[in-house]
Amino acid sequence: MLRTIISNEWFTVLILLSVGILAFTRYSYNSRFIDFLGLLGNSKYLKIYSRDQKFIDQFDSLLFTNLLISGTIFIYVCYGVLYSPVDFEWALFLKILLLFGTVLLIKVLIERLIGSVFEIDSLIHEYVFQKTNYKNYIGLVLLPLNVLLIYALPLSKTLIYAILGLIILINLSGFFTSIKANQKLILANFFYFILYLCALEIGPYIILYQVITD
């Protein structure tokens, strides 16, 4: 077992910041936030709020900010457990945060560009909305898990892999929800769908992994 993080003060500040963001989101969008919590159980949230989606939505932006913070903390801890024990360093944390956020934002912009070029904006907007919400849900799940990793549980590779498995399952849940909703279109353009998977769903995370580990 490993305990790789020696000084936790800055992690405490960042976790409290995420808690504050979620508390503000819950206070400002109480009904929507409660519906969002049930995202994995049913598609009610997606059906209700996909109709009112905006290019920049404050609710989604707040949850995305939490995803960036919680996701970066988790990546930082993963790096310490799987590769090299490391104390908190702002330079490394901000590097991971910037890379993580850039990958996510560029993916969304490229997907919206594809929708505009091929005149399937409404379809792409719905697809991006679904994916964004499942990723934001991962950010919600990571917050308490980060608390346990940093303050309570003895760190181990097995534990990290288990959490990574949970993240993959949530991602797959969102992915298959999108496939089910657009099954006919995907089957009619299966080759382009495979290209999309390699270029925008798998490739960016491989690049992110290589940059961080290097």
**In this predicted model, what pLDDT tens digit does every residue of 191-204 receive, in sequence order?**
666 666 666 666 66
**Residue 113 falls inside a structural domain:** yes
**Residue 20 falls inside a structural domain:** yes
Total of domains in the chain: 1
What percent of the chain lies above the pLDDT cut of 70?
A: 75
| Number of neighbouring beta carbons within 10 Å of residue 118 | 12
**Residue 203 falls inside a structural domain:** no
**Residue 40 falls inside a structural domain:** yes
What percent of the chain lies above the pLDDT cut of 90?
A: 38
**Residue 188 falls inside a structural domain:** no
**Residue 207 falls inside a structural domain:** no
**In this predicted model, what pLDDT tens digit does every residue of 24-57 receive, in sequence order?**
999 999 999 999 999 887 777 888 887 766 667 8
pLDDT at 164: 93
| Number of neighbouring beta carbons within 10 Å of residue 53 | 15
Q: Which domain holds residue 130?
A: 9-181
Q: Residue 69 and residue 73: Cα distance in Å, rounded? A: 6
